[in-house]
Amino acid sequence: MSSVAAKLGGFAVVLAVVFGAALTLGAAAGPAVSTQIDAEQPAEGGHDMATGGAGDAPAHGDAEGGQEASDAGVPGGLAVSQDGYTIAPAATALEAGREQDFRFTIAGPDGRPVRDYTEEHDAELHLIVVRRDLSGFQHVHPIRDADGAWSIPLTLAEAGEYRAFADFVPAGREGLTLGVDLRVAGDYEPWPLPAPDRSAEVDGYTVELAGDLVAETSSDLTLTVSRDGGPVTDLEPYLDAYGHLVALREGDLAYMHVHPHGEPGDGVTPAGPSVEFAAEAPSDGAYRLYLDFSHDGVVRTAEFTVITAGGHRYEDQ
């Protein structure tokens, strides 16, 4: 009997090793280059977690599974729920290229839609929508009804998986950024992340980026706007600033809402050509930066890829 038990024990060890190796290989497999998005399938949580630290995996559970993150050291936008607040969209499946009414609520700790917010940057809530390959960036401002439901006409041009970020401040509380996945059915081939470049062109404007992003350290970034070779010195206030910067980490879309130095009308901050920001990357890696600025009555967005000092791109990991 002891011989039989020993043999069975040895067989169990072999099975454990085999299954462990299979799991390791499965986890190491990279994402497919192209895929088909099925609107009938629920949106997946991906690598979700909730708002400031590092890492590409959720520290507090799968966001789409409804588990709550509460660690203030985790980056923003990676969880559907944090500190008792939950984003709840009416639908997560949308159609490509068609304007649709995107509706959602922010449920508070009591389970009811939140109706009392503190304005930040001229809005109660900022909604950022971007495809998971970091293309198709949109920054919009939904309207809230008396019952606490938010709505905005939204057009997602191409098929794929998207992330929607709700950036808001509940009255009397600290600011939060919650995120939820959206799905647009159809053939989907992710765009590669553009190479790092300190110059971006948009609608005849050139925006130059100065400064380096350093992980876990406050970094000064300066973005300078010019047109036709001359500096733009009459930028218009947009959301209480001369520039509005959002940064997303490649791989899991960790969200950083970066604040500018100074504000319009303070007697110190010039209306261009440069806008200065303080940013802190939660980890080494590649980030996509989106600068919104207003001139001649139009808001434009300049985009940059930035890799932290000592960092690398997700695809090279």
- Which residues pair with residue 252 across a beta bridge? none
Q: Is the pLDDT of residue 65 over 70?
A: no
Instruction: Quickly state the pLDDT bin for 74 (edges 50, 70, 90).
Output: confident
Residue 39: per-residue pLDDT: 53
Query: In 183-204, which positions are buried (b, 16+ CB within 10 angstroms) versus exposed (e)?
Result: bbbeebebeebeeeeeebeeee
With CA atoms as reference, report the closest residue to 215 among 311, 310, 313, 284: 284
* 146-159 mean pLDDT: 97
Reported as half-sphere exposure (CB side, CA atoms, 13 A), residue 155 has a value of 4
More confident residue, 45 or 290: 290
With CA atoms as reference, report the closest residue to 240 among 283, 188, 285, 275: 275
Residue 70: per-residue pLDDT: 41
Instruction: Quickly state the pLDDT bin for 314 (edges 50, 70, 90).
Output: low
Q: Which two tokens stand for residue 107?
A: 């449920």
Q: Is 299 in contact with 291 (CB distance < 8 Å)? A: no
Q: Is 4 in contact with 12 (CB distance < 8 Å)? A: no
Residue 48: per-residue pLDDT: 32
Residue 36: per-residue pLDDT: 63
Q: Is the pLDDT of residue 2 over 60?
A: no
Instruction: Quickly state the pLDDT bin for 191 (edges 50, 70, 90).
Output: very high
Q: Which two tokens stand for residue 70?
A: 């509460």
* 92-121 mean pLDDT: 96
Residue 10: per-residue pLDDT: 44
Residue 50: per-residue pLDDT: 32
Residue 31 CA to residue 275 CA, distance in Å, equals 37
With CA atoms as reference, report the closest residue to 287 among 260, 317, 313, 316: 313
Range in 32-36, 264-268, 275-279 with the lowest mean pLDDT: 32-36
Report DSSP state, residue 229.
T
Q: Sketch out the chain's domains with CATH numbers.
A: 36-188 (2.60.40.1930), 199-316 (2.60.40.10)
Q: Is the pLDDT of residue 35 over 70?
A: no
For the chain, give the percent of residues with pLDDT over 90: 66
Residue 281 corresponds to which amino acid? A
Residue that is written with structure tokens 């090793």 in the block: 17
* 69-89 mean pLDDT: 83
- How big is the CA angle at 124 (ends 220 and 46), to the nearest 5 degrees? 70
Q: pLDDT digit string (tens) for 220-261?
A: 999 999 999 999 999 999 999 999 999 999 999 999 868 789
* 69-75 mean pLDDT: 58
More confident residue, 6 or 91: 91
Query: How big is the chain, counted in residues?
Result: 317
